[in-house]
Chains A and B, each alone.
Chain A
Amino acid sequence: MLCRYNTNSVITNIPKGLEKEMGHDLNKVLYVEDEKDIQTVARVALEMVGGFELKICSSGKEALAEVEAFAPDLLLLDVMMPGMDGPETLKGIRALPNMANIPAIFMTAKVQPQEVAHFKSLGALDVLPKPFEAMKLASQIRDIWAQKAV
């Protein structure tokens, strides 16, 4: 395991340059989720209710292939997926050119405080619990976006 970072970033968890990226409105969301049914629910929650421009990928591999063409503002990543899991997918995407600082939110059933801290230390803005509240999902994402932009 090779973890490399500028020591300053350990403290804040916010990658350099992120402040600038988060200055604009949230519009395009790339959602990575392996469950088809949950995809369907999320599509309604994020497109119809939330009004986002949404792209859904079924695996980390697919996301890696699509992310640059779609150029999302935000990644929404399921943590537990077969093959590449959420954190691995994030790492892979951030290793791509121009994607080093892309904001991300994890979704997972595990929501103990120290686990949330762990996911944040991997570079995520926040963690949303599963099962999520579909009607509120989009506004929760906007809240996180707004809060971190401050």
Chain B
Amino acid sequence: MSEKNGHKKPAIPTEEIERLKSKYDISSLLDELHLDASERLQAVLDNVVDGIITIDELGIITSFNQASERIFGYQANEVIGQNVKMLMPDPYQHAHDGYIQRYKDTKEARIIGTGRQVEGLRKDGSTFPLELAVSESQLHNRRFFTGIVRDISEQVEAAQALHSSANRLRTVLDNVVDGIITINKRGIIDSFNIAAQKIFGYEAHEVIGKNVSVLMPEPYAEEHDGYLHNYLNTHVAKIIGIGREVTGRRKNGTTFPMDLAVSEIEIDGELMFSGIVRDITERKQMEMMKNEFISTVSHELRTPLTSIRGSLDLVLGGAVGALSEPMEAMLRVAANNTERLLLLINDILDIQKIESGKMAFRFAPINIKDFVLQSITDNEAYANQYGVRFVIKPIADDPIAFADKDRLMQVMANLLSNAAKFSPPDNEIEISATRREHAIRISVTDHGPGIPEEFQPQVFEKFTQADSTDSRNKGGTGLGLSISRLIIEKHGGHIDFVSRSGIGTTFFFDLPELITSTNDLKAPPKLTSNANASILIVEDDPDIAALLQRMLAEEGYNSDVAYTASEARARIQQDGHKYKAMTLDIVLPDEDGLEMLASLRADANTANLPVVVVSVKSDEARRNLSGGAMDVIDWLAKPIDQSRLLNAIHSVATENHRPKVLHVEDEQDVHKIVSLMLRDSCELVWTTTVEASREALENEDFDLVLLDIGLPDGTGTDLLDLIEKRVRPPRVVIFSALDVDESISCRVSNVLVKAQTDRASLMNTITSAIRTQKRKS
């Protein structure tokens, strides 16, 4: 567009300039040519890149340099003496006279002294963007204006291209089905595309500038800031860089399942996070329907199979008389295939249960050495069937994994039976367990034909076997390895294989190694006054245990983790005075937590150990946990609540009367706790609804009603009228998570509040439990 060099026009001979240009700069060149001052000025003006135009007070052009000629396409002589407005398109053209006039009158400048982007009009009628700077000068008492103009078509075009590509990008962002949200490192929403607006029901302007936690239900919302903060400090990611299923909250307060993928990005040196969100409500519903369908179909298939299998079994077992040999052979075929059908149905159900999260995994620390040995004993039958030997390679030390032993045994059975099936007779199958970085690897190696290369990618797919005739020759459903993979993945592990044709195949899986020591905590405990108080965490879920440990460490508490009830007992026995309090999960792999609590209470040494019950829904909590939240359903501080409760009981108990208590409570866990506390001192009737409680109260006399407020069909306080109308009204203790206002609390004997689920209260409870304990001793 505009030319970079302005020295083509001959105020001095072009050849001369060209010749000397390389040797001299312009000023020395002019000196050499002995030009006088005004000629020199003209030469300078003509050689600058910018157009320079002077006008008088009336707007008449008085000079027009070469660059201007090039920019506007006019020769100087065509414009000098004309009004400058000829260089402007409408509407500037008409406004210009008035503009100069106004400037003279008021000194109110639009361009003069500043400079701005305006439009220019070329001789050929085309317009172009130009940058204009105007200054005012006085010469011989006459005022004139100098304008410096620069053609900026290129820059403007580039900017427009940039703008249009940004627009295109914006259009793309606005039309994708996925919500795209960016937040800064403090969690403040920076952008919110149209799909995100549709998904969450917010307009962009309603959420931009707000904390992204408005899009999350509790408890995630409350925890998010901490999570981000933690990520920035530690780079321990729960979601970032990974995709996962979380729960979102719409503007109207409803929640929905969504897929979330977060990546860390840097924009202009600032750390940001972009989140891609997809509403998966529909997919979830489909999954649910599919799962229900599969479980119904499987049940329906099992019913006729029960008859078929049963009759064949009886006939082949000789229960209804002797069989001829060919009859027996035929019936054996029918029986074998019935078994196969049954295995298939069981496998399909297994897969469906794992995929839908309905299969309960019972994790506990397992000794890998013992586990491998047992797996070989358990599966010896396969080895005998195929005439092979299982050989275990020496396992150096004693690694411990955190696993569901039964499920893991299912994986071993699958791997060992596969290896046996595909090994030539009299062969050895090697089993090894080795420690790798943060993991334990268990391998099963056979010397069979190997897996054909073209089949290798499908090994873990459902219903696959290398050779379709194999399924008949070798048996099996084609689902075993898919199930094994699902099981290993549920353990946070990884399963894979290596195979060489003609040499053999090794299947292996890696499990995260269990690390139990407090020393492995990343954050060293702060040295506070709490430093001497040690807490025993009894919790089978390692994620939750670690979380509790971290929470306690932040408050300056040391803690030890026991993953099973027996481990907890061992630790307490070892040094009973070490622990100032204990947190207890009531679902433990080896014993019911409440049973354990009862026995601790019965023992004089531990009768007064403060215990906080942390009851967690296993599967769901594990999911939630990865989002940084711990789902504490309920927790109770003991012995405080227990003594209060017992006081209430004692106040109604008389010498020869075993008090009768109605416990109105819809949560089974809570009822279990209460029945455990009261089992020696009263007769307990348990109801879960207002309706059932009403019925009970009308038919029987009670000494005490232990009342939950939030019930499936109403509130517990609905029962107060009925209770007060009784001839011999029972005393009432409200035991509820809900707040109870004064109008209610004055009608009852005592209010015990089930604690809410935030960690601050949890900490308070632990702390106050310890304090109470100290006062006693």
Which residues of A line the B interface, CB within 8 A?
A: 1-4, 6-8, 10-11, 35, 37-38, 40-42, 44-45, 48-49, 80, 109, 112-114, 130-135
Contact = CB atoms under 8 A, between A and B. Distances in A.
A10 B314 contact: no
Contact of B306 (A44, A130, A135): A130
- In the A-B complex, the 8 residue pairs with the closest CB atoms: A41-B310, A37-B307, A131-B306, A134-B310, A7-B679, A135-B317, A134-B313, A131-B309
B689 interface: yes
Contacts of A44: 311, 314, 319-320
A2 B687 contact: yes
5 contacts: A2-B696, A3-B687, A35-B303, A35-B307, A130-B306
Contact of A131 (B342, B682, B692): B342
Contact of B678 (A3, A7, A131): A7
Contact of A38 (B306, B313, B678, B689): B306
A109 B302 CA distance: 8
Contacts of B317: 49, 134-135
B303 A48 contact: no
Interface residues of B, number: 36
Contact of B687 (A1, A11, A114, A131): A1
A41 B304 CA distance: 11
Interface in B382-420: none
A131 B319 contact: no
B299 interface: yes
Interface in B271-320: 298-299, 302-307, 309-311, 313-314, 317, 319-320
A110 to B, nearest CB: 9
Contacts, number: 89
B310 A2 contact: no
Contacts of B678: 7
Interface in B655-684: 675, 678-679, 682-684
B95 interface: no
B314 A134 contact: yes
Nearest to B298: A109
A132 B689 contact: no
B359 interface: yes
B310 A1 contact: no
Contacts of A7: 675, 678-679, 682-684
A109 B299 contact: yes
Given A10-B675, A112-B360, A131-B342, A48 B692 contact: no
Contacts of A112: 353, 359-360
B685 interface: yes
B689 A1 contact: yes
B306 A132 contact: yes
Given A35-B307, A41-B310, A114-B360, A135 B692 contact: no
B320 A48 contact: yes
B703 to A, nearest CB: 15
Given A49-B319, A135-B317, A41 B311 contact: yes
B767 interface: no
B310 A38 contact: yes
Given A2-B687, A6-B683, A135 B313 contact: yes
Given A41-B310, A48-B320, A112-B360, 15 more contacts: A1-B692, A2-B695, A3-B687, A11-B595, A37-B307, A38-B310, A48-B319, A80-B299, A113-B362, A131-B342, A132-B306, A134-B310, A134-B311, A134-B319, A135-B317
Contacts of A42: 310
A37 B689 contact: no
